[in-house]
Structure 1
Amino acid sequence: MATGGFSADTSDEVFDYVCSMCKEQNKTVNAAKYCVDCHDYYCSDCVNIHKSVPALKGHKIVDKEVGQEGKLPMVPTERCERHSYKPVDMYCQSHHIVECYTCMAVDHRTCQDVFYVPEFVKTRKNVVPEFLQRITNVETKLQDFLKSFNRECTDLQDNKLKEIDTAKRFTKSLEERIKEAEKDAIDMIEKRYTKLNEELQKNTDNVQKEVKNVGSTRADIDSIIQNESQAFVSMIFGGKSVSSAEKLCRNAEMIKLGRRVKFLLNPQCESLMAKKLCLGKVKCLSYSFVRNGEFNIKLSSDSSSCAIYGSCILADGSVIFSDRDNCTLKLIDGTALNVIHHYKLSSKSWEVCCMDNNEAAVCLPDEKKVLVVKVNHELSPERFIRVEFSCQGISFHDEKFYIADGTCLYICTTNGAILKTISRDSSGKSMFKSIFNVSVCRYNRRIFVNDIRLGVISLDIDGNIQHVVSNDIKYAHGLTEADNGKVLACGYSSKNVILLDENGAFEKVIIKDGLSGPMALCFNCSTGRLYVPNFQKDVVQIFELEDVD
């Protein structure tokens, strides 16, 4: 414990009583004496000054321990701003305010619940501890928000760099005339990023400010915590800063994070080279979609309604749909939005995935085959891959097939040889009940499967389950990779599309109205266009990324 007269402005020591005169000079010095008449505590130096004042010579000076032993009441040391010689020792419960006796007599003479602070706190032992707990709670929330904002700042910065890199890669095939367009694209990204970052920084600064304020309030109370009366007074004075922090916490809870800058390429860029170039447009990517029409995919040769069980996007923006009931693969022009070619299959097809070199692979479960087709403005069969199981879901990554047959996930070579089987966890329990879709994320090599009974399951590359999303999707049947490792999934029974984050956890519902039993979907990351076939309705709905600030 500090001794009387020692200045402790930068000390970490705890003082049970602080010299009142030193405190007026913004110094923290441990008190040694107490004046019964002044109701003040004094250090060794200040008590000598007190004794030298003629008008104060008759005052009774005692050791501060007298108050500690209960022989004198523990009274506030705070002085009234209007009457500097009087202690703030009166409390009006109606107005929740503390003042000196004179102020209280003038301003609150009609109030019925006015108390002398030392007497009031005797029956309110938990008031200050509860206030300190309140500070602890708000400090925890503020720190959590600060961490979230800092992470968001880092992610937003990484996102900006990634999208700029996207724009730069697109310009490599063009000559000097696109340099101006590249600059325009980067400026758009920078402006949108700056706007988002400024808003994020403003929120971060507000949180930091409140962290400092509540920390200061805590420090004031901690420094005189043994003096319950003064601690109560400091609590009242600090209530405003804590209330402000709590209000900020409530406001911060309403702040929506996750907005990202998205650079969307212009598919008609090459045809615009004779004019002022525009590489694309920048959108704030929060995965909000607006419906932008539909198109019909039924052919005159189709004998049944279209039952799309799989779809994929090719590098040139064209789309392949697997029409199970009509045993047909359909190639769609991503710009004209019509069927430009189709291939009649030997049996009913399920999921289809894109491969490298403009190839695609489609599952034929009844034949236990995977058909590989070449795509060059038309669909041309190349080879069959025989497997030992009824293949239904399929994805291609790193020169390997990931194929599902309902209860097992097989990792196979390009010839169909099984490299690994994923079906049971470490305890031997079956992991799946009925999986029909597979998607391997190129961004982080995470595996996603749709189990119509369990939901959307995400696994690491070794096949260990990381997340299962079931409450927000029913009869999950359809997966497509989005951007930055995120994945979109649709539910046949829930008639919705949901977004999963890069870890496989549920993020939000993307589309919940207007869908009719979707069984497949595909997303073009370059154009921001989402295709969702309506099951047995012969039409594909188109959704575009909405620019949300």
Structure 2
Amino acid sequence: MASKMQGSADFDEQFLTCPVCMLHFRDPRVLPCLHTFCRECLQEWATKQQPLECPTCRTQVSLPDQGVDGLRTNFYVNNLLDFAAVKKGAGPGVPCQVCEGKEEGARSWCVQCAVLLCESCTNTHRRFPTLKGHQIVTQENLEASEGVPSSFQRKAFCPKHEDQVLTFYCEPCQTLVCVACTVVNHSRGDKHNPVEIGSVAERKKRDLQKLIANVEPREKDVRATLKEVEREISELPTSADAAIEQATAYFDQLIALLQDRKEEVVTEIVSRRQEVGKCLETQKEAIEFELAGLTSASEFCKQALEHGSDVHVIEVEGQARQRVAELMTTPSDLTARPSQVVFSEGTAVAEFRDDVARAGCVHVQVKVDASKCSVEIKPTIVEFSNVSLLSTNDKNGQLCSVLKDDVTATLTDPSGQAVPTQLQEKGRGLWEISYLPEVTGNHRLEVNVNGGSVAGSPFDVTVQSTGTPVLTIGRWGSKGSGKGELSDPTDVAVDMDGNIAVVEWVNKRVQIFDARTGQSLRSFPVHVGGGSPWGIDMDSNGQFILTFQKNSPTVRVYSREGKLTKTLKPDCLQKPYGVAVLQDGRMVVADSTQKSCLLLQPDGSLIRDIGKGLLQAPQFIAVDESRGLLFVTVYSTHKVFVFDLEGKLKFSFGKKGFNEGELEYPTGITVDPAGNIIVVNWFNGRLQVFGPDGTYLRTVARVKGGYPQGIALTPDNHIAVACYDGRCVELYRYK
């Protein structure tokens, strides 16, 4: 133990104060949770609640059989209390606590009796045989000490032999004993082994040092976290005020927009009222003028009939006929004219209320931990807009939001030149880092969050040349039936989760791959009832629609889990290839033997033949329902034919050749959201894009895998190509 403990000048009054009674400790006792209270306070507290909870930390504690009296005394607190009292009592004018100031002289302190003694009482105290073991600390020692001397400790006496100091420790009993006890109750033998407390204390001190070593790192972390929480508490009003300011500005803008729109509408109503009023006034004047003429002519004719002689009638009839003819030749417009200005709601109040309820979003931002954040580097093609995905996480690895200003991403090309990057939050804690590299080669991407580097930063970004597949699914050129292997893939489709479904001709199965990583997620067999699968598409419910050839020309429907739910065997079906499913469940199947496309009901019944007499060997189909158009590749004539869904030919394009814009045995076809037509050539692998009218636009790539078949466009703008001879699916970036 150190020779000095805490100095009197450094005493913390709170450290010597019981948390319950708020007075100096009286007979301090230590709970198992290591919090100290007065013995009487604990006894009173124990009568108020069962089970007993620590008044400070609320930890449930179990008292020993003796109750509160069985708890250990906090000797350290007792020593500090004693020393504090001595320091205070050693001052001038403080009387002896035995003779109460009757004798003068230097004062001393009896550690065991905890009383201040004058010189006379000190001498008397020392003469009592039962008090000879008591430790006396002189005033000189007290004044010379900067802290609590190691000797300033009450000696512990044996509860069975009150005049004996506890100087031994019986390890089997785990009990402190005196010399007398070692003879009477704890003599050395099989059940007892008393040893001097000095050696035991040294061992216990080492154990305490180990406990401190175990606690200190955690204590350091907790203190750091506490400091961080305190900082965040201090910053909370600032962030909340900033959020209020942003919300106020946001809603003020909305209110201003509504106010501006209100003024525009009211102004338009006033303007329309003036226009309609002027129009009605003009019509009124014309009608009144015509009415006056008609009334005058009518009255003239009546007067002639009632009062005119035959001669007079004969004379005026011609004049009256001429006037009436004039009036009837140019009559006023009596058709209905706009007569009211009416306001109609462009957006219903109920709908607008729902939109308002979604306007603005409040969330509590968790402290992000850069070391827990991650970046997914996606395949990158030169002169294309590419993205990498950043996940911002808290210290527990959970996604959390972060301000855009707290995220930085810097991409540099092989020469060290910076490539412009853009950041866009796609969801809580998910960010897209987009960039358009202008050169190929190894680039470096540095990502920082809240001033700290994301784990793994800087990242290597390999920029490949245009036309290079960004991902190859399956083992190129190698057949296989294992997980992730492909054997003669014929067609691809994109499921509702954005994954790629591949039909395998030889393995007679559908295998689902992650479009980002190429990892095989699952597969299901499709060989029930014979036949070999060829074409695939998805319906609006996420079911797989497949065509089958050879022994059993059918169309089969599989659930999202891969269970066969329906088999369609229309009489018109002979050798189906590609298939496309409409939103309402109807489907179009390219039939090579029928030399047409078959528009079928969901139950497989034929609605109509499309392209009969024009299509020699139709292969694959794409449908653009927004324009009501059907696109089909014809393998043998090197063309693409475009029909409406009523079967009328709209146009066709393509001619055989190896040049750009020419087709050489076209197979897979799809349409992008802008209506552009994407076609792949089976023979030379050219993947080309044509405008909505069939005009050649550009070539995306030359497919590396041999003999490409079906193609599909993924949600993240990649073209998936089933390579029959390459036994793989290649993904090419589509711009």
TM-score normalised over the length of structure 1: 0.46
Which is bigger in relative contact order (C-alpha 8 A, separation at least 6)?
Answer: 1
TM-score normalised over the length of structure 2: 0.35
Q: Kindly name which structure, 1 or 2, has the bigger radius of gyration based on alpha carbons.
A: 2
